[in-house]
Amino acid sequence: MSFRFRVLALVMLVAVSATAATLWLVLRQASRQIDESAVPGATLDRITGQLAEYGSRHGTWEGVAHVVVQLGEQTGQRIHLVSESGWVLVDTDHEANPDEATRRLGTVVGLVNPRPTLDLSGAGRDAVAITAKQLHTYRTGIRYAACLTRSGVEVVQTPGPYGVPTYDVARDRFPNPEAVRSCQERARESPQASRADESQLAACGTSADSQSMNYCLAQAFDARIDEVAPEPARVIVGVGEEGGPGLVVGPLLAAAAGVAAVAIIATALLSHRVLRPIGILTTASQRLGRGDLSSRVPVRGNDELATLARSFNRMADSLQRGEERQRRLVADVAHELRTPLANLRGYLEALSDGVIAPDPELFASLHEEAVLQQRIVDDLQELALAEAGSLAYHRTAVDLAELLETCRTAHGASADAAGVSLTVTATPVAVYADPDRLRQVLGNLITNALCATRPGGQVTLTLEREADSAVVRVVDTGSGIAPDALPHVFDRFWRADSARGRRTGGSGLGLAIVRQIVTDHGGSIKVTSQLGTGTAFTLTLPVTPV
């Protein structure tokens, strides 16, 4: 029998025993308690909605007592409003009988948030400027509204385009002009606050993508309005039970003893089968946590515990392989950066000591070497983002034939300079993808093909549709790749030049980035090559459904 069914049978036995022993105790009291403490959801929504509207419109909780008292009379409920910091704002029991003790609080709690939520979904590239403007509008407006409320002037709230309201006086109520002017003066923003806003918002403008920037701006908006916006509050509705009958102790103890006996017997039956393998797994996982990646557990049987043991072993294998890949990556990065950085340091020290004379050619060489190192760092960052799933994609319907022609035009000058013929043969096929990322993919492949092809050679781009896939091939007549090197062409820092020279190769990360971008688009890429004949890269992408 499966271990799962054995555990299920024993758990069901314990559950049925516990349910049968306690059900009559629960039923005796639950119905009355629910009836006394329940508050209809519509009533709670009405109370929280009106209180949130008051705080949002007036910019302060001052004067909210009469609204709470009216709601209490209309709903027949006790309403207890307390700020987020713990200050009791108003309680209908206290308002009705200030000199008498209040009843116990109910158990129904609602949240009242009078603060606006900044919506930057349509802001685009102007999100920082829009946030600064909305922040200034709200901070001055909420101070204006709070001042008008304290002066007894009716406040009018108007919704804004980004979720931030604006405030004004009710013109038909003949407000006190002096009070209005005074409140306008008090609501003005100080230059120091404006500079603080700009400083905090500017930090968000450096975010990697629009989604991260909008989230950062929304967080900054909430932080900057905290000192002027009305504090969120909790509203507790209803009255708690004052005492009532307690549980019958005797039957409850008997039921508990029976359930405990069943549980002990079930535990004794399961302990030998369950706890021993779990103990072995625990010990192995502790060794794994201490860094012993060779730790494995024995696998016995075919039940769920055996499956768990196999999964643990696979996880340990994966961690060990990942550790080895990480070590290789660190070694590759160190290899790629150590020698160029040492050269740069040597030249700079020689310049500083006056050993060599500075000249434009030397500075150009040093600048070129620095640019190459920057490219390695940029490629590593882009590859890390792609592998983590954080690389931004802006997908749209893309005509691949048009995209290939664009790439041919962009690389035509390089091909002419290298004496290589660059041609395109394509039939119109549409895919749903990021055109800029696909241009990056094709650009890397074309650049590699041109570098590998001698003058007089040819690089051909072809596009055709096969079933529900678009197939793009980049074929060159270059020097080709050795068979033993083909499995490594998409590895980090791999280059066909065994000397790993910077003058004849790129960063060694281009093909790794290409594979990740193609994979993120739901496609695949493969390579075939023959020494002395040429190389062919084949991209397969899903076509756009009609």
What's the pLDDT at 129?
86
Let me know whether 404 and 507 are in one domain.
Answer: yes
Annotate 438-506 with DSSP letters as a single string.
HHHHHHHHHHHHHHHS-TT-EEEEEEEEETTEEEEEEEE-SS---GGGGGGTTSTT--S-TT--TTT--
Let me know whether 330 and 420 are in one domain.
Answer: no
Confidence band of 476 (pLDDT split at 50, 70, 90): very high
Let me know whether 320 and 354 are in one domain.
Answer: yes
d(C-alpha 349, C-alpha 356), whole Å? 9
Contact between 113 and 231 (Cβ < 8 Å): no
Considering the entire predicted model, what is its pTM? 0.41
Let me know whether 350 and 479 are in one domain.
Answer: no
Let me know whether 403 and 360 are in one domain.
Answer: no
Q: What mean pLDDT is reported for the chain?
A: 81
Number of domains in the chain: 3
Let me know whether 353 and 400 are in one domain.
Answer: no
Q: Give the residue with greater pLDDT, 376 vs 44.
A: 44
CATH number at residue 320: 1.10.287.130
What's the pLDDT at 499?
45
What's the pLDDT at 162?
87
Let me know whether 412 and 517 are in one domain.
Answer: yes
Q: Show which of 198, 221, 236 is a domain's final residue.
A: 236
* φ/ψ (deg, to 5) at 88: -80, 120
Residue 420 has pLDDT above 90, yes or no: yes
Residue 501 has pLDDT above 50, yes or no: no
What's the pLDDT at 392?
77
Residue 502 has pLDDT above 50, yes or no: no
Let me know whether 368 and 489 are in one domain.
Answer: no
Residues of the chain above pLDDT 90, percent: 18
Q: Is residue 75 part of a domain?
A: no
Please write the tens of the pLDDT for every residue from 55-94: 898 889 988 898 999 998 888 888 999 988 888 889 888 8
Let me know whether 519 and 401 are in one domain.
Answer: yes
Helix axes 400-418, 435-452, angle to 10 degrees: 30
- Mean pLDDT in residue range 404-431: 91
d(C-alpha 30, C-alpha 208), whole Å? 54
Q: Residues of 243-270 as b/e, b for ≥16 C-beta within 10 angstroms? A: eeeeeeeeeeeebeeebeebbeebeeee
Q: Which of 153, 183, 144, 186 is nearest to 171 (CA)?
A: 153
Q: Show which of 220, 236, 252 is a domain's final residue.
A: 236
Q: Is residue 148 part of a domain?
A: yes
Q: Is residue 524 part of a domain?
A: yes
What's the pLDDT at 534?
92
Q: Which of 460, 375, 368 is nearest to 411 (CA)?
A: 460
Please write the tens of the pLDDT for every residue from 164-191: 999 988 776 656 788 888 888 888 887 7
- Mean pLDDT in residue range 109-126: 86
What's the pLDDT at 422?
94
What's the pLDDT at 503?
45
Three-class SS of residue 210? helix
Please write the tens of the pLDDT for every residue from 3-12: 566 666 767 7
What's the pLDDT at 372?
66
Q: Is residue 88 part of a domain?
A: no
Q: Is residue 223 part of a domain?
A: yes
d(C-alpha 212, C-alpha 343), whole Å? 38
Q: Is residue 339 part of a domain?
A: yes
Q: Show which of 236, 251, 266 is a domain's final residue.
A: 236
* φ/ψ (deg, to 5) at 90: -165, 150
d(C-alpha 55, C-alpha 162), whole Å? 19
- Mean pLDDT in residue range 229-238: 90
Tell me which residue range forms the domain holding 328: 316-385
Let me know whether 361 and 411 are in one domain.
Answer: no
Residue 2 has pLDDT above 50, yes or no: yes
Confidence band of 396 (pLDDT split at 50, 70, 90): very high
CATH number at residue 434: 3.30.565.10
Residue 376 has pLDDT above 70, yes or no: no
Annotate 332-355 with DSSP letters as a single string.
HHHHHHHHHHHHHHHHHHHHHHTS
Let me know whether 446 and 534 are in one domain.
Answer: yes
Please write the tens of the pLDDT for every residue from 511-546: 888 888 899 899 999 999 999 899 999 999 999 764
Integer CA distances (angstroms), 222 to 117, 138, 216, 302, in order? 8, 11, 10, 55
Q: Which of 110, 108, 78 is nearest to 91 (CA)?
A: 78
Let me know whether 419 and 360 are in one domain.
Answer: no
Q: Give the residue with greater pLDDT, 199 vs 431.
A: 431
What's the pLDDT at 541?
95
Three-class SS of residue 366? helix
For the chain, state the CA radius of gyration.
36
d(C-alpha 540, C-alpha 400), whole Å? 12
- Mean pLDDT in residue range 25-36: 57
